[in-house]
Chains A and B, each alone.
Chain A
Amino acid sequence: GAVVSQHPSRVICKSGTSVKIECRSLDFQATTMFWYRQFPKQSLMLMATSNEGSKATYEQGVEKDKFLINHASLTLSTLTVTSAHPEDSSFYICSARDTGQPQHFGDGTRLSIL
Chain B
Amino acid sequence: DAKTTQPPSMDCAEGRAANLPCNHSTISGNEYVYWYRQIHSQGPQYIIHGLKNNETNEMASLIITEDRKSSTLILPHATLRDTAVYYCIVDGNNRLAFGKGNQVVVIP
Say whether B46 contacts A6, CB under 8 Å: no
Say whether A108 contacts B99, CB under 8 Å: no
Give the contacting residue for B94; candidates A43, A97, A106; CB below 8 A.
A97
The chain A residue sitting closest to B34, CB to CB, is A102
Proximity string of chain B (15-57) to chain A, C-beta cutoff 8 Å, 1 when within and 0 when not: 0000000000000000000101010011111100100000000
A-B Cβ contacts below 8 A, count: 48
Give the contacting residue for B42; candidates A94, A102, A107; CB below 8 A.
A107
Q: Chain A: interface secondary structure?
A: strand
Cα A32 to Cα B100 with chains together (Å)? 25
Contacts of A6 in B (CB 8 A): 43
Q: Known contacts A43-B101, A102-B49: does B43 contact A93 (CB below 8 Å)?
A: yes
Q: Residues of A with Cβ closer than 8 Å to B? A: 2, 4, 6, 32, 34, 36, 43-46, 49, 91, 93-95, 97, 102-108, 110
Q: Residues of B with Cβ closer than 8 Å to A? A: 34, 36, 38, 41-46, 49, 87, 94-101
